[in-house]
């Protein structure tokens, strides 16, 4: 379990900055057709902040005992939309149209950036995310197996 958790934490820390930058660039491209150098620089700085702040949060969560984990690494990644959102707001980008369910589930995600799964952040997160999830589920089942009653 620890090996899978560490691999996922490492992969998330490595992917966060690029995800922030790509998220900003994608929305800017859709809005203006271009990403100017100032916005690129702001996105890069926000990406570094996300990696420096969210990365350790994810690592701390994954180092906790599975029964003590009160959230998930994907939930922490979803909360990281605050980094590209701040850049986009500063650039004057208006919120995008979202469906009612997305608005209800992620009210602060005005640019519809929240990842549905690890691969939405980076394809490199898919395998470690899957391995960690399977290991956690197996550990949980082993730990909480009910004994058959006679």
pLDDT tens for each residue of 39-55: 999 999 999 999 999 99
pLDDT in the model for residue 73:
96
How far out from the chain centre does Cα 60 lie?
A: 15
CA 67 to chain centroid: 21
**Positive or negative CA dihedral for 125, 131, 134, 138?**
negative
Residue holding tokens 């916005």?
39
CA-to-CA dists, residue 106 to 83, 112, 146, angstroms: 15, 8, 36
**For the chain, which residues score pLDDT lower than 50?**
none
Instruction: Tell me the C-alpha distance between 8 and 56, whole Å.
Output: 12
Q: Are 55 and 20 in contact (CB under 8 A)?
A: no
Distance from C-alpha of 130 to C-alpha of 136, rounded to nearest angstrom:
10
User: Considering just the CA atoms, what is the radius of gyration of the chain in Å?
Assistant: 18
Which pLDDT does position 139 carry in this prediction?
86
pLDDT at residue 147, rounded to an integer: 54
């Amino acid at each position: 379990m620890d090996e899978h958790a560490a691999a996922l934490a490492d992969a998330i820390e490595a992917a966060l900055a690029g995800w922030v930058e790509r998220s900003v660039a994608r929305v800017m491209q859709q809005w203006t057709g271009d990403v100017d150098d100032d916005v690129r620089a702001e996105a890069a700085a926000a990406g570094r902040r996300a990696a420096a702040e969210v990365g350790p949060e994810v690592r701390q969560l994954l180092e906790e005992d599975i029964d003590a984990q009160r959230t998930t690494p994907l939930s922490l990644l979803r909360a990281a939309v605050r980094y590209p959102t701040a850049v986009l707001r500063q650039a004057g980008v208006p919120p995008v149209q979202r469906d009612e369910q997305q608005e209800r589930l992620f009210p602060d995600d005005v640019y519809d950036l929240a990842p549905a799964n690890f691969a939405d952040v980076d394809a490199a997160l898919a395998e470690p995310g899957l391995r960690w999830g399977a290991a956690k589920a197996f550990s949980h089942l082993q730990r909480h197996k009910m004994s058959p009653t006679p």
